[in-house]
Amino acid sequence: MKKVFTFCCFLLLLAIAGIYAQAVDIDTGIRRSAEFFEQQLQRDISIAVLSVSSDSLTLSGYIIDELSAHFVNGRFFTVVDRRNLEILQHEINFHLSGEVSDETAQAIGQRVGAETVILGSIVPLGNVYRLDLRALSVATGVIQSVHRQDIEIDRRLAALIGGQRAPVSEPWHHNRFTLGLRAGGGYAPLILGALYTLTNFHAAASITGQITEWFGIQAELMWSYYMEGENNDWNENRFLIPLLARLTFTPGNFSYGFFGGLYLSFPGTKRYIRDNIRQEWIPRSGPAVGVMLGGNFGYRIGPGVLLFDLRGHLDVTRAEYDVRHFSNGHFLGTSTGEDGGWRGGFNFSIGYEIGLFGRR
């Protein structure tokens, strides 16, 4: 179990380390570009965001306005007034959304008093858009730095492009329902009052109804096989039906989720075998009620997301049992009993979720 946990943590850290190389939403891409140029260029220079070529004047204007706003608020540079660029746009007939040569960019920069101009493009590249920006020295014509970022096709970008819809495989986090499967293991420490430290294997299926893009209600059917003791002295099957409120955030190709709620726990027959003693614990009461909290981290693969799930749960009520006693294969009698400790623990699992019925 420790090896599985260590491997999962390594996988999680590796995925987080690669987050900045993945596609992001348009606003995040613009912000990262601004921060990059603030680190690369000399401070206190005069800068003009000149042109971003694309198929949409709205998209080009949005990128230029947002990038200029970041520079103004960052106070690293003196930003040329956009109105001066608009005047030149009419005078020499250049377009914010068109290609501008380096020579033309230098000439415009000199006219408006800029030492550096920012220009670039945003074009489709497979299932993403590529935002490509460069800083050009007005005095020398030398490219001072270049920043490239893949932009995911989400609702905002689609609207800026002009109503173009994202490919079916792209808006993986914009769905009315999500179906999931996962499997893993877990343990319960002695602090919960059990006779032994418990371990378990479990598998689960889930369905989530998305009320908003980030909030949903998730129902699950979860089967667990519990083992107790070094020689599997205790074992039992148990079904859990959690009903959870879930928050999900999906920057770029990544998914971060947090959830909590209640569950019903349906115990199966427990068996205790040690030496010549055998007991069968047969449940006699209804399901126990418990509380469950947890979170998950995922990365989009294909139309869905591969998830690493970590959660804790604890029964609030205890199950009652009829206990049948055997010795050397002979039936001795029946008594009543209840769980020796609060059933619960921590579960780790890996699963896959896929969305259905895209939100319009």
Specify if 255 maps to a domain. yes
Specify if 2 maps to a domain. no
Please state the length of the chain: 360
Do 208 and 324 lie in one domain? The reply is: yes
pLDDT of residue 230: 60
Specify if 12 maps to a domain. no
Q: How many domains does the chain have?
A: 2
pLDDT of residue 358: 59
Torsion of CA 341, 290, 237, 220, to 10 degrees: -160
Q: Are strands 234-249 and 198-210 parallel, antiparallel or unpaired?
A: unpaired
pLDDT of residue 61: 86
Specify if 167 maps to a domain. no
Whole-angstrom Cα distance, residue 46 to residue 156?
31
Do 329 and 210 lie in one domain? The reply is: yes
Q: Which of 161, 183, 200 is the last residue of a domain?
A: 161
- Residue 102 lies in domain: 23-161
> Each residue of 89-100: b (16+ CB within 10 Å) or e?
eeeeebebbeeb
pLDDT in tens, 241-263: 999 999 998 877 788 999 999 99
Q: Which of 161, 196, 231 is the last residue of a domain?
A: 161
Do 205 and 235 lie in one domain? The reply is: yes
Specify if 7 maps to a domain. no
Do 234 and 293 lie in one domain? The reply is: yes
Do 136 and 177 lie in one domain? The reply is: no
Q: Which of 161, 194, 229 is the last residue of a domain?
A: 161
Do 132 and 227 lie in one domain? The reply is: no
Do 280 and 347 lie in one domain? The reply is: yes
Q: The domain that contains 48 carries what CATH number?
A: 3.40.50.10610
Do 153 and 252 lie in one domain? The reply is: no
Specify if 4 maps to a domain. no
Q: The domain that contains 274 carries what CATH number?
A: 2.40.160.20
Whole-angstrom Cα distance, residue 104 to residue 110?
10
Do 58 and 142 lie in one domain? The reply is: yes
Specify if 18 maps to a domain. no
- Of 146, 167, 148, which is closest to residue 158 (Cα–Cα)? 167
Do 120 and 183 lie in one domain? The reply is: no
The structure's pTM equals: 0.51
Do 273 and 297 lie in one domain? The reply is: yes
- For tokens 């206990």, name the residue: 323
Q: What is the 3-state secondary structure (H, E, C) of the chain?
A: CHHHHHHHHHHHHHHHHCHHHCCECHHHHHHHHHHHHHHHCCCCCEEEEEEEECCCHHHHHHHHHHHHHHHHHHCCCEECCHHHHHHHHHHHCCCCCCCCCHHHHHHHHHHHCCCEEEEEEEEEECCEEEEEEEEEECCCCCEEEEEEEEEECCHHHHHHHCCCCCCCCCCCCCEEEEEEEEEEEEEECHHHCCCCCEEEEEEEEEEEEECCCCEEEEEEEEEEEEEECCCCCEEEEEEEEEEEEEEEECCCCEEEEEEEEEEEEEEEEEEEEECCEEEEEEECCCCEEEEEEEEEEEEEECCEEEEEEEEEEEECCCCEEEEEEEECCEEEEEEEEECCCCCEEEEEEEEEEEEEEECC
Do 208 and 179 lie in one domain? The reply is: yes
Specify if 96 maps to a domain. yes
Give every residue of the chain whose pLDDT is below 50, as ranges: 1-21, 163-171, 191-196, 360
pLDDT of residue 224: 87
